[in-house]
Amino acid sequence: MAPLDGSSLPNTATLDPIAIAPGSTATISPMARAILTAPILPTLVRLAWPTVIVLVIQTSVGVMETYFLGHLGTAALAGAALVFPVLMLMQTMSNGGIGGGVSSAVARALGAGRKDDADALAFHALILAIGFGAIFSLAVIGGGTWLYSALGGHSEALAAALLYSNLVFIGAIPLWIMALMASVLRGSGNVKFPAVITLAGGILLVPLSAALIFGWGPVPRFEIAGAGIAVLTYYIASAAALLVYLRSGTSVVRLRRMPLEWRHFKAILGVGALSAFGTIQTNLTVALVTASIGLLGIEAIAGYGAAVRLDYFLVPMLFGIGAAAITMVATNIGAGQIARARRISWVSAAIGVAITEVIGLAAAVFPEIWIGLFSEDPTILETGAQYLRIVGPTYGFFGLGLMLYFTSQGAGRVFWPVMAGTVRLFVAGFGTWIAASMFGASEQVVFITVAAATVAYGLMSLLAVRLTPWGIGKPVR
């Protein structure tokens, strides 16, 4: 497909924001025109900033919840730390894994002028959300005791983890619906409505969590169960709002019942399934490191759990930029503009490196500021601070790897970036577990191993994207 330049575009724009294939007589919106022809950095920022700001606020809400739980004691904090990698697995798989496949498929369809296919993809995404949500609910609720015991939980910490986890994972289907419907909208270039829903939910979740955890007026004190109830309420309300919007006809991509076709599932899962495997790797890495640290005691788990929250604080910022990059890369791939899609990838990666490295260096120099938000226990402070001093300076490599993973989703070429995640899993995850369980490695050795794996992940991702051809062979539909 020949490149599309600005001279081939019509002078008028309608409200139908779809990019057009060369030779088409369709008109496009200003946002679609910008994605295809405008300067890359301003367009990327325009698409990314609502999602970045709102998801940072949402993550801050999670930090506040951890702060509240810290006031309930070490058992509650450790219980939440045990659940955290499993919950993040579901969230990252739904948003950045399968959700990335949804955004990429929708954007490619619109980039090629296939509006009906985009609508069909929305309905197929809803079916996938229900299926994946049901699997997570059954697996985690049914196997929670074994899972959290394997991660090092016992006695009061295990009981707290199970109580919190069961309430959260009852809402797995609403969470998946929320994630995949938001991905449909982001794939169409609509970043504002998902951002508004997330912002509104985050603002309401903080007082709701506090009231349910500690009790307020007629609301009884539920302690750690209150945190689970608050999160469940947020998932249900957000999913309902997104479904109503997509059904209303206001959205460019409309959710409507359509015949199920394998080609639409393939368009999503062709990118999303492998991407989901990548998110499993990331969260399994955290889980294995948690289990390794768990051999050193509950306080050590709590300290690591507090420190690794900063790792996940980076993800919303990167996801906001990455979601915009997926849309821009996929739309340009759909329109045949391969060179421009490549340039978008490198600009996105540079932004990701800059943001994560600045935060990582600040955390390494002042680790007590972050860890002190959650606990004053000396063991917790010592473990968390040691993690940030060792791993924090390598955050830039994490940002590099994750951003190139996102842009590869847009191109439909995620195999080698996922293989980079495999290297990180084996070095950081299995490496730390073997070192701690078989050789009695110290916290410092475990954290040095995690840092080395992070560097390898970033460098291998860079090499993978440089060597992987985009837009060659059969187009990804």
SS3 442: coil
CA 263 to mean position of chain CA atoms: 25
For the chain, give the mean pLDDT: 82
Q: Is the pLDDT of residue 8 over 60?
A: no
SS3 203: helix
| Spatial distance between the Cα atoms of 281 and 6, rounded to a whole number of angstroms | 41
| Spatial distance between the Cα atoms of 385 and 372, rounded to a whole number of angstroms | 9
Q: Is the pLDDT of residue 477 over 50?
A: no
Q: Which residues of 390-429 are buried (b: 16+ CB within 10 A; e: fewer)?
A: bbbbbbbbbbbbbbbbbbbbbbbbbebbbbbbebbbebbb
Query: What pLDDT is recorded for position 28?
Result: 56
| Spatial distance between the Cα atoms of 453 and 351, rounded to a whole number of angstroms | 21
- DSSP state string for 135-200: HHHHHHHHHHHHHHHHTT--HHHHHHHHHHHHHHHHTHHHHHHHHHHHHHHHHTT--HHHHHHHHH
Percent residues over pLDDT 70 in the chain: 90
Q: Which residues of 218-251 are buried (b: 16+ CB within 10 A; e: fewer)?
A: eeeebbbbbbbbbbbbbbbbbbebbbebbeeeeb
The domain spans of the chain are 40-467
Predicted confidence (pLDDT) per residue in 383-428, tens digit: 899 999 999 999 999 999 999 988 998 888 888 888 998 999 899 8
* Single-letter residue type at 11: N
- From residue 320, give the alpha-carbon distance in Å to each of 1, 54, 56, 185, 326: 30, 9, 9, 13, 10
Query: What pLDDT is recorded for position 12?
Result: 27
Query: What pLDDT is recorded for position 471?
Result: 66
CA 371 to mean position of chain CA atoms: 23
**pTM value surpassing 0.85:** no
Q: Is the pLDDT of residue 47 over 90?
A: no
Q: What is the token pair recorded at 120?
A: 């069909």
| Spatial distance between the Cα atoms of 402 and 425, rounded to a whole number of angstroms | 14
Q: Which residues contact 423 (CB under 8 A, 6 or more apart)?
A: 453, 456, 457, 460
| Spatial distance between the Cα atoms of 91 and 1, rounded to a whole number of angstroms | 36
Predicted confidence (pLDDT) per residue in 26-35, tens digit: 445 567 778 8
Query: What pLDDT is recorded for position 476?
Result: 40
Range from 92-106, 126-140, 365-379 that averages highest in pLDDT: 126-140
Query: What pLDDT is recorded for position 367?
Result: 92
Sign of CA dihedral 271, 277, 279, 281: negative
Predicted confidence (pLDDT) per residue in 346-363, tens digit: 999 999 999 999 999 999
* Contact (CB, 8 A) for 97 and 324: no
Query: What pLDDT is recorded for position 59?
Result: 67
Task: Pick 464 or 315 by higher pLDDT.
Answer: 464
| Residue 316: Cβ-neighbour burial (10 angstroms; 0-12, 13-18, 19+) | buried
Label residue 54 by pLDDT band (50, 70, 90). low
Task: Pick 130 or 406 by higher pLDDT.
Answer: 130
Long-range contacts of 204-211 (CB under 8 A, 24+ apart): 204/234, 205/61, 205/65, 205/230, 205/231, 205/234, 206/61, 206/64, 208/233, 208/234, 209/61, 209/64, 209/65, 209/68, 210/68
Predicted confidence (pLDDT) per residue in 197-252, tens digit: 888 887 888 888 888 888 887 888 888 888 888 888 888 999 999 999 999 878 88
Q: What is the CB neighbour count within 10 angstroms for residue 378?
A: 10
Span 35-43, average pLDDT:
90
For tokens 């506090």, name the residue. Answer: 210
Query: What pLDDT is recorded for position 58?
Result: 64
CA nearest to 333, candidates 321, 345, 349, 323: 345
Predicted confidence (pLDDT) per residue in 294-306, tens digit: 787 777 788 888 8
Span 3-29, average pLDDT:
35
